[in-house]
Chains A and B, each alone.
Chain A
Amino acid sequence: MNTDNSFVNFHEVQKSYDGSSLVVKSLSLTIAKGEFLTMLGPSGSGKTTSLMMLAGFERPTGGKISVAGRDLTDLPPHRREIGMVFQNYALFPHMTIEENVAFPLVARKIPKPEIASRVCSALERIRMGALAHRRPAQLSGGQQQRVALARALVFEPSLVLMDEPLGALDKQLREHMQMEIKHLHEELGLTVVYVTHDQDEALALSDRVAVFNNGMIEQVGPARAIYEAPETSFVSSFVGENNHLAGIATSVSGSACAIMVGNAQIQCVAVGRLKQGGRVVVSLRPERICLALSDDDFANKVKGIPKEVVYFGDHLRISCRLESGQTLTIKQPNRGGIPEVSVGHPVILGWHATDARALAAEGEASNG
């Protein structure tokens, strides 16, 4: 990473609650100024604990966290100058919207007239000026979310943490708020550390995504790389939907390889170093598989028998049994010019060699 531009720095951070098992094993991560980084992972993977250590609510058992070159270890949360949005918003129920947003400014002993004008403009930005005197319980979930955002940003912190901020909203509102957060990030030049278990949200928002599993980062990188070039089988199955085909590597040459799946040979991209003759898992995104016509130009074409076809409106979802006995799931966009599919009638499935990624199977040493 570009260390000159490093703003937030986790250096070999560990956390244990009981003294024997580690919730965060050894986290080293650098976040650049102005970056939007998402910590993505299943629950219990250590992402929220990492965020809580950055906020100062948990003390690292080992290692160091610094922001803008300053060691945070002994700095209590109220002096860290970090903005934060919580999962359930954590708006103060006994204060009005206005008082909630003013709270960080009051805590900083800013003169009253200035507080009034800054709160006013913050509420205008989120289009909540009219509701300034309501209590949080009188607002909808989306409105509360926006107030929480305004409260986190009103004192103009350069670092903002968000802990599953959209978890309680319905799908449509969530997508709308994602855009709003993205715009705020761009306009204000914020550095955002965002925690979520929702991979779509992570991909849509982030400059970079760090995928957590079992207290460790499995992979860090731009959203596109995480989705399209997963480096571990955990990442490939956790981020997005994936088909996994077990096979044997027959020939490996640089990044290209050929894999035998059943008695069909498949051209793939080799991830890491594969052993010739070793067991591999080929991961293949459902949307990258097409129902092929005979004249289509695919490196891989395999015959399959549809076992189930589900109509989703914008796409069809088809499960096919291959001759090897393994199953492939296909997402076929619902557009013209595709072959007729019906259960039991064989079809040709095609995909490009670059869309199939061969990873060493678990238990098989990927590099010597």
Chain B
Amino acid sequence: MAEAIGFATPDDLGRRVARSRHSDTRKGLLLLAPALVLLFIAFIVPLGYIFRLSIYDPIVPDGLPRVVQALEHWSGSGAPDEETFRALAEDLSDARKANTVGLIANRLNVEYPGLRSTVMRTVRRLGQTPPVDNFTAFFVKADPNWGAQSTWQAINQLRHSVNANYYLAAVDLRRDASGSMELAPEENRIYTTLFVRTFLIAFSVTSFCILLGYPVAYLIATSSKLVASVSIMLVLLPFWTSLLVRTTGWIVLLQSQGVLNDLFVYLGIISDENRVRMIYNLAGTLIAMTHILLPFFILPLYSVMVSISPVYMRAAQSLGAHRFYAFWKVYFPNTLPGLGSGALLVFILAVGYYITPALVGGQSGQMISNLIAFHMQSSLNWGLAAALGVILLAVVLILYGVYNRYSGANRLMN
């Protein structure tokens, strides 16, 4: 009787439930598909390309294939054998025909400054009097660099088309003469210094946002309707106003011929010759970034604060707690989730900031993003820029993962 038509045994019960859920899922994915396609084209592929740029480095293996092969027998000390120099001569004359000498020279120059002119000079010489034998002597005569072990070390490091050289450079690591890793001398540690500065700036901006944002969020959450709605307007207006407009505003206020300095001079606080430098330096970056990110901290914290019932505070006070004690022991712990997620969000956004430091940061206020842009646009060292970018991206994505676990991505703004 129990096995009549349509009566499910426990086994196929699960299957049937899964089937009906499957059709629901398909409809959901269909709705998501267009957005995911856009994201793929204009988000995932571009970021993937940056990753590829950072590890894919085929110029040397493509341009100097014979040299790369010959170097496999190289002991690693001194100049390589005659065979390798013959390979170099053949590769370079091929490169000359293929018009890729400049590319190879640039790549080598990035790895070992000075090699560009070495290569260019040698190629010129190769064109004038191509050697038939004694290649080693020819090259060392063309440029003594060819006899140096470090030149060949640089070429040897680039022999794989997929390598981590850019990442090593991005954390100021390099190989010493024996091929083992070492940290660059302290005065040359550009990138680690800049990463540290970037984190310090992001951390300071986050701290300022907590200090300035917490009282305002508390004011909005606990004041009368009029005060609250006026205050929230004053927080929302910057949120909606263009970042460039706000940066312009700070330039107007803070520059040496700006409104604040004029005011200080007028009030006699400072003399006309000693105007305060408040912008185009680290201070400018900190002030403008704090201003721009403050609403991102206040708004989520406010939404947590309004959901805390005033009953708790009243209860604590009725039990004899002093107002400040009640605040510290009852109210404040309840706002910690909002404070934490707001602070994390500000930090995430701050670490990747570009426009504000570029416009008001001067020298001391530059962040890692600015250097990435510099290598992308001016020095054209794309591989290094990409490696720096991937490191920055990884840091941001890890923090974003923490943020999602901690407070849910959909609270990103409200």
Contacts and interface: CB of A to CB of B under 8 A. Distances in A.
Q: In the complex they form, do A and B come into direct contact, defined as C-beta atoms under 8 angstroms apart? A: yes
B66 to A, nearest CB: 64
B14 A19 contact: yes
Interface in A4-26: 11-14, 16-20, 22, 26
B10 to A, nearest CB: 7
Interface stretch (A40-48, A59-67, A109-117, A278-286): A59-67
B397 interface: no
Interface stretch (B1-9, B88-96, B109-117): B1-9
B241 interface: no
A12 B18 contact: no
A20 B6 CA distance: 16
A11 B17 contact: no
Interface residues of A, number: 17
B13 A64 contact: no
Contact of A12 (B4, B10, B15, B17): B4
Contacts of A64: 5-6
Contacts of A20: 10, 13-14
Contacts of B14: 19-20
Main SS at interface, chain B: helix
B8 A61 contact: yes
A188 to B, nearest CB: 33
A13 B7 CA distance: 8
A11 B6 contact: yes
B145 to A, nearest CB: 72
B7 A16 contact: no
Nearest to A14: B8
B13 A16 contact: yes
Interface string A19-56: 11010001000000000000000000000000000000
Interface residues of B, number: 13
A11 B7 CA distance: 9
B134 to A, nearest CB: 81
A54 to B, nearest CB: 16
Interface in B1-39: 4-8, 10, 13-18, 20
> A17, A18, A19: which has the most chain B beta carbons within 10 Å?
A19
B11 to A, nearest CB: 10
Contact of B6 (A16, A19, A63): A63
Nearest to B15: A19
Nearest to B12: A62
Nearest to B4: A12
Interface string B22-59: 00000000000000000000000000000000000000
B7 A62 contact: yes
Contacts of B8: 14, 16, 61-62
Contacts of A11: 5-6
Contacts of A17: 17
A18 B18 CA distance: 8
Of all A-B residue pairs in the complex, the 7 with the closest CB atoms, nearest first, are A19-B14, A62-B8, A19-B17, A63-B6, A62-B6, A61-B16, A59-B20
Interface of B: 4-8, 10, 13-18, 20
18 contacts: A12-B7, A13-B6, A14-B8, A16-B17, A19-B15, A20-B13, A26-B7, A59-B20, A60-B6, A61-B8, A61-B13, A61-B16, A61-B17, A62-B6, A62-B13, A62-B16, A63-B7, A64-B6
